[in-house]
Amino acid sequence: MIIPAIDIQDGCVVRFVQGKLDKKVYSKDPVKTARHWAKQGAEFLHVVDLDGAYSGMPKNIEIVKEIAKTSGLVVEFGGGVRSMQAIEDLLDCGIARLIVGTKAAQDQNFLYRAFKRFKDKVIVSIDAKDGKVFTQGWQDSGGTQLGAIEFADSLKSLGFKEVIYTDISKDGTLKGPNIQGAKALLKTGLKVVVSGGVSSLEDIKKIKKLEKEGVVGIIVGKALYEGRFTLTQALRLS
């Protein structure tokens, strides 16, 4: 599954490099952007509230509600989702799946309760650099030096079947995804959605070769916004 990404900051569609460098605004209308991806053939959409990721609480929720309500897309959403109440409220708004990252890495009890209550309506994002998990909008390794594989193993033991994997050092760079990192995670037995660094249709082909090993999706952001290829072209490969 090819999944276009919309990152929102201050109500605009933006892209960062490695979570912090070279911010670029691509649209001031995220809802219009979501409809554009729907017209291009998307069925699933990955939305991140960057303001929420940095602050610890979703800040652009009205925009996300509108996307879920009017785009016709299945929407997964993350960025500041750090409480059971937030998950419940967002699911009630028509969002199909909630992404948890920071809270998942920091609080095993929360993770257990969230999975037990919401099952596959919650997915964990393993956001890593040099094999270590980062949190707080990718600004912090938490001081714990939690390993990505170690974290993945713990998720598997809790009952999770699928994760999102982002190599922070690749994200927004258009320098290709971390194939080896994805392969390592696949060895845990989890299904993996790969994110970060996709720059070309060739990159998509390389990731697709891991489909039999458990890769179930590819999140694509900057490459689409920079016109490296169209979503229609990417979907033909899926």
Q: In CATH, what number is assigned to the domain containing residue 120? A: 3.20.20.70
| Residue in 49, 41, 45, 62 with CA at minimum distance from that of residue 13 | 49
Is residue 214 situated within a structural domain? yes
Helices (DSSP H) in the chain: which residue ranges? 30-39, 50-55, 61-70, 84-92, 102-106, 108-118, 148-158, 179-186, 201-208, 222-225, 231-237
**Model-level pTM?**
0.92
Active-site hit among 7, 49, 167, 203? 7
Is residue 238 situated within a structural domain? no
Is residue 237 situated within a structural domain? no
Is residue 142 situated within a structural domain? yes
140 labelled catalytic: no
With a CB cutoff of 8 Å and minimum separation 6, the contacts of 196 are: 165, 166, 167, 168, 170, 171, 172, 177, 178, 219
107 labelled catalytic: no
Q: Name the domain count of the chain.
A: 1
pLDDT digits (tens, 9 = 90+) for 200-213: 999 999 999 999 99
Task: Report the relative pairing of strands 2-9 and 21-27 from DSSP bridges.
Answer: unpaired
- State yes or no: pLDDT of 132 exceeds 60: yes
Q: Which domain holds residue 94?
A: 2-230
Is residue 16 situated within a structural domain? yes
Is residue 236 situated within a structural domain? no
Active-site hit among 127, 167, 171, 203? 127
**Distance from C-alpha of 187 to C-alpha of 185, rounded to nearest angstrom:** 5
pLDDT value of residue 141: 45
